[in-house]
Structure 1
Amino acid sequence: MSDVFNILTGLLIIIGAAFTLIAAVGILRLPDLYTRMHAASKAGTLGSGLMLIALAIFAQDQAIVTRALAAVVFFLLTAPISAHLLAKAAYAAGYRLWGQSVHDEMAGPEGATSLPGEDKRTEEE
């Protein structure tokens, strides 16, 4: 039975590390702050969560398992909320969307891509 736990732990660590690598590559390669933040919060949270679950399986100690699972729940509850709030703050501070972004939902009812304090863009742009 110990071999099954070791194999499962190894697989979870490898998959978690792959998701963490994807998050790091996304931070480097994606075009703007908002898409980079999305990559970091989604893939990073999944990678960290999988590695913490691997720790819980490998340790087989009640205290470590409880702390690892509490950390997974903490990541799942806080990462999306903090990424959302950071993106709203960045938008309010004037960070622009990528030039080829299709839709700006924060711009208002017209769907224009203007930022707070700027003139709205015309249809020709």
Structure 2
Amino acid sequence: MTGMIIDGLSWILIVCGSVLVVTGAIGLLRLPDVYARMHGVSIIDTLGGGLLLIGFMLQAGFSLVTLKLLFLLAIMFLIWPAISHALAQAAMTEGVEPVLAEDRRKRLDQPEPGAPAAKTKKRP
């Protein structure tokens, strides 16, 4: 009975992790620029990969394989966000501009239409 519960729970985690990874892959294709792609994919793939590895650990039982998967899970949670940050920093260094629906810098410098003229601070 306990084996069936653990087996069912592990398959639920594996399926949920797989769905998240596929969703991240679709988001990678649909999002407009490198920054949005990194933001969406890094969060979803870290969670999806974590769910997959936890599901695999439950399938493996307590063995050396489980310890290896636990080590891989710890490395994944530490390294993947750092890799995403390094890629974003490299894109910024190369001058890659984010795609915005509107230029918010113009809106910050101008008062709203119909509003009384107020002294606003200029942003650098």
Please show how residues 88-107 of structure 1 align to structure 2 within 5 Å: 88-100=89-101
Q: Please report the TM-score for the alignment, with normalisation by the length of structure 1.
A: 0.78
Q: Looking at CA atoms only, which structure, 1 or 2, has the larger radius of gyration?
A: 2
CA drift of 1:27 comes to: 0.2
CA drift of 1:25 comes to: 1.2
Q: What is the rounded CA distance, in whole Å, between the counterparts of 1:21 and 1:46 in structure 2?
A: 12
After superposition, the Cα gap between the structure-2 partners of 1:71 and 1:94, relative to the gap in structure 1 and judged at 3 Å, is same
Q: What is the rounded CA distance, in whole Å, between the counterparts of 2:81 and 2:5 in structure 1?
A: 33
State the match for 2:86 in structure 1: 85
CA drift of 1:99 comes to: 2.6
After superposition, the Cα gap between the structure-2 partners of 1:85 and 1:101, relative to the gap in structure 1 and judged at 3 Å, is farther
Instruction: Return structure 1 stretches of 4+ with deviation > 3 angstroms.
Output: none
State the match for 1:5 in structure 2: 6
Q: What is the rounded CA distance, in whole Å, between the counterparts of 1:69 and 1:2 in structure 2?
A: 20
After superposition, the Cα gap between the structure-2 partners of 1:102 and 1:18, relative to the gap in structure 1 and judged at 3 Å, is farther
Indicate the RMSD between aligned Cα atoms, in angstroms.
2.0
Report the identity percentage.
31
After superposition, the Cα gap between the structure-2 partners of 1:73 and 1:102, relative to the gap in structure 1 and judged at 3 Å, is farther
After superposition, the Cα gap between the structure-2 partners of 1:42 and 1:93, relative to the gap in structure 1 and judged at 3 Å, is same
CA displacement, residues 3-46 of structure 1 (integer Å, 9 cap, x when unaligned): 00110011001110111011111101111101101122111111
After superposition, the Cα gap between the structure-2 partners of 1:101 and 1:14, relative to the gap in structure 1 and judged at 3 Å, is farther
Gaps of 5+ in 1: 104-111, 114-122
- The number of residue pairs the alignment matches comes to 107
State the match for 2:65 in structure 1: 64
Classify the secondary structure of the residue corresponding to 2:22. helix
After superposition, the Cα gap between the structure-2 partners of 1:100 and 1:64, relative to the gap in structure 1 and judged at 3 Å, is same
CA displacement, residues 32-81 of structure 1 (integer Å, 9 cap, x when unaligned): 10110112211111111111111111111421111111111111101111
Pick 1 or 2: higher relative contact order, CA cutoff 8 A, min separation 6.
Answer: 2
State the match for 1:44 in structure 2: 45
Q: For residue 39 of structure 2, what is the amino acid of its counterpart?
A: H
Q: Please report the TM-score for the alignment, with normalisation by the length of structure 2.
A: 0.78
CA drift of 1:92 comes to: 0.8
